[in-house]
Amino acid sequence: MSENKIFQWTDDLSIGFEEIDLHHKKLLLILNKFKDILMLGEAEYKIQIGKIIKNLSDYTEYHFAEEEKFMKIYDYPGYEAHREIHTSFINKLKTHLPILLSGNLQKGAEFSNFLGDWLLDHIAVADHQWADYIHSKK
Ligand SMILES: [Fe+2]
Ligand SMILES: [Fe+2]
Protein backbone atom coordinates (compact mmCIF):
# COMPACT_ATOMS: atom_id res chain seq x y z
CA MET A 1 0.00 0.00 0.00
CA SER A 2 1.24 3.50 -0.68
CA GLU A 3 2.35 5.72 2.15
CA ASN A 4 -0.36 6.54 4.65
CA LYS A 5 -0.08 10.29 4.99
CA ILE A 6 -1.90 12.17 7.68
CA PHE A 7 -3.12 15.58 6.63
CA GLN A 8 -2.38 18.18 9.21
CA TRP A 9 -3.68 21.65 9.77
CA THR A 10 -0.95 24.24 10.31
CA ASP A 11 -1.56 27.90 11.13
CA ASP A 12 -0.03 29.12 7.89
CA LEU A 13 -3.03 27.51 6.14
CA SER A 14 -5.33 30.06 7.76
CA ILE A 15 -6.80 32.45 5.21
CA GLY A 16 -7.96 34.89 7.88
CA PHE A 17 -11.67 34.07 7.71
CA GLU A 18 -12.57 31.94 10.69
CA GLU A 19 -15.61 30.28 9.17
CA ILE A 20 -13.69 29.18 6.07
CA ASP A 21 -10.75 28.00 8.18
CA LEU A 22 -13.20 25.82 10.10
CA HIS A 23 -14.46 24.34 6.83
CA HIS A 24 -10.91 23.51 5.78
CA LYS A 25 -10.20 21.88 9.15
CA LYS A 26 -13.35 19.81 8.85
CA LEU A 27 -12.36 18.69 5.31
CA LEU A 28 -8.99 17.55 6.64
CA LEU A 29 -10.75 15.63 9.40
CA ILE A 30 -12.91 13.81 6.85
CA LEU A 31 -9.83 12.96 4.78
CA ASN A 32 -8.06 11.61 7.83
CA LYS A 33 -11.12 9.50 8.61
CA PHE A 34 -10.78 8.14 5.06
CA LYS A 35 -7.15 7.32 5.95
CA ASP A 36 -8.25 5.58 9.15
CA ILE A 37 -10.64 3.21 7.41
CA LEU A 38 -7.91 2.19 4.95
CA MET A 39 -6.20 0.58 7.95
CA LEU A 40 -9.21 -1.59 8.81
CA GLY A 41 -8.83 -4.12 6.02
CA GLU A 42 -10.81 -4.55 2.83
CA ALA A 43 -14.06 -5.90 4.25
CA GLU A 44 -14.54 -3.10 6.78
CA TYR A 45 -13.27 -0.50 4.32
CA LYS A 46 -15.92 -1.56 1.83
CA ILE A 47 -18.62 -1.10 4.47
CA GLN A 48 -17.50 2.38 5.52
CA ILE A 49 -16.12 4.05 2.41
CA GLY A 50 -19.52 4.97 0.91
CA LYS A 51 -20.50 7.02 3.96
CA ILE A 52 -17.15 8.84 4.06
CA ILE A 53 -17.23 9.73 0.38
CA LYS A 54 -20.81 10.97 0.69
CA ASN A 55 -19.78 13.10 3.65
CA LEU A 56 -16.76 14.40 1.73
CA SER A 57 -18.69 15.28 -1.43
CA ASP A 58 -21.57 16.93 0.45
CA TYR A 59 -19.29 19.00 2.63
CA THR A 60 -17.01 19.92 -0.27
CA GLU A 61 -19.96 21.15 -2.33
CA TYR A 62 -21.25 23.19 0.60
CA HIS A 63 -17.78 24.63 1.27
CA PHE A 64 -17.12 25.56 -2.36
CA ALA A 65 -20.50 27.27 -2.61
CA GLU A 66 -19.77 29.31 0.52
CA GLU A 67 -16.37 30.39 -0.84
CA GLU A 68 -17.93 31.32 -4.15
CA LYS A 69 -20.48 33.51 -2.33
CA PHE A 70 -17.64 35.40 -0.64
CA MET A 71 -15.78 35.89 -3.92
CA LYS A 72 -18.92 37.10 -5.66
CA ILE A 73 -19.84 39.60 -2.95
CA TYR A 74 -16.41 41.20 -3.19
CA ASP A 75 -16.22 40.99 -6.98
CA TYR A 76 -13.05 38.92 -6.92
CA PRO A 77 -11.55 39.11 -10.45
CA GLY A 78 -10.45 35.46 -10.34
CA TYR A 79 -13.97 34.26 -9.48
CA GLU A 80 -14.68 32.33 -12.71
CA ALA A 81 -11.27 30.64 -12.79
CA HIS A 82 -11.57 29.63 -9.13
CA ARG A 83 -15.07 28.32 -9.65
CA GLU A 84 -13.84 26.19 -12.54
CA ILE A 85 -11.15 24.68 -10.34
CA HIS A 86 -13.85 23.79 -7.79
CA THR A 87 -16.08 22.26 -10.47
CA SER A 88 -13.31 20.14 -11.92
CA PHE A 89 -12.47 18.85 -8.44
CA ILE A 90 -16.09 17.84 -7.84
CA ASN A 91 -16.15 16.14 -11.25
CA LYS A 92 -12.96 14.25 -10.49
CA LEU A 93 -14.47 13.03 -7.23
CA LYS A 94 -17.60 11.87 -9.06
CA THR A 95 -15.61 10.08 -11.76
CA HIS A 96 -13.60 8.20 -9.14
CA LEU A 97 -16.64 7.14 -7.16
CA PRO A 98 -16.96 3.63 -8.67
CA ILE A 99 -13.25 2.95 -8.13
CA LEU A 100 -13.49 4.05 -4.52
CA LEU A 101 -16.64 2.05 -3.85
CA SER A 102 -15.05 -1.07 -5.36
CA GLY A 103 -13.19 -1.48 -2.10
CA ASN A 104 -9.68 -1.67 -3.58
CA LEU A 105 -7.39 -0.50 -0.76
CA GLN A 106 -4.49 0.43 -3.02
CA LYS A 107 -6.68 2.66 -5.18
CA GLY A 108 -8.29 4.11 -2.07
CA ALA A 109 -4.88 4.99 -0.61
CA GLU A 110 -3.74 6.58 -3.85
CA PHE A 111 -6.89 8.63 -4.22
CA SER A 112 -6.95 9.75 -0.59
CA ASN A 113 -3.37 11.00 -1.02
CA PHE A 114 -4.41 12.87 -4.12
CA LEU A 115 -7.39 14.45 -2.32
CA GLY A 116 -5.33 15.60 0.66
CA ASP A 117 -2.46 16.95 -1.44
CA TRP A 118 -4.92 18.74 -3.70
CA LEU A 119 -6.78 20.29 -0.78
CA LEU A 120 -3.65 21.47 1.04
CA ASP A 121 -2.26 22.98 -2.14
CA HIS A 122 -5.59 24.60 -3.04
CA ILE A 123 -5.86 26.23 0.40
CA ALA A 124 -2.21 27.34 0.40
CA VAL A 125 -2.35 28.94 -3.04
CA ALA A 126 -5.76 29.55 -4.64
CA ASP A 127 -7.80 30.15 -1.47
CA HIS A 128 -5.12 32.48 -0.12
CA GLN A 129 -5.33 34.48 -3.33
CA TRP A 130 -9.02 35.29 -3.06
CA ALA A 131 -8.81 35.81 0.70
CA ASP A 132 -5.84 38.21 0.37
CA TYR A 133 -7.75 40.12 -2.28
CA ILE A 134 -10.77 40.52 -0.01
CA HIS A 135 -8.63 41.50 2.98
CA SER A 136 -6.99 44.17 0.84
CA LYS A 137 -10.43 45.61 -0.04
CA LYS A 138 -11.64 45.88 3.54
FE1 LIG B 1 -11.40 26.14 0.30
FE1 LIG C 1 -11.39 27.25 -3.10
What's the CA-to-centroid distance between 127 and ligand 2, angstroms? 5
Say which ligand is closest to the CA of 71.
2
**55 exposed, middle or buried (CB, 10 Å; 0-12, 13-18, 19+)?**
middle
pLDDT at 6: 86
3-state secondary structure at position 17? coil
Cα(27) to centroid(ligand 2), Å = 12
Q: How far is CA 14 from the centre of its chain?
A: 15
CA dihedral 22, 24, 26, 32 (to 10 degrees): -150
* pLDDT score, position 1: 46
Per residue in 49-92, pLDDT (tens digit) is 999 999 999 999 999 999 999 999 999 999 999 999 999 999 99
Give residue 3's pLDDT.
60
- By the 8 A CB rule, do 130 and 69 touch? no
**Range 13-137: architecture per CATH:** Up-down Bundle (1.20)
Q: What is the mean pLDDT of residues 126-138?
A: 95
pLDDT of residue 4: 65
pLDDT score of 69: 96
**Residue 11 backbone dihedrals phi, psi, to 5 degrees:** -60, -25
pLDDT in tens, 2-13: 566 789 999 999
pLDDT of residue 96: 93
pLDDT at residue 5, as a whole number: 74
* 105-122 vs 42-73: helix crossing angle, rounded to 10: 20
74 DSSP assignment: T
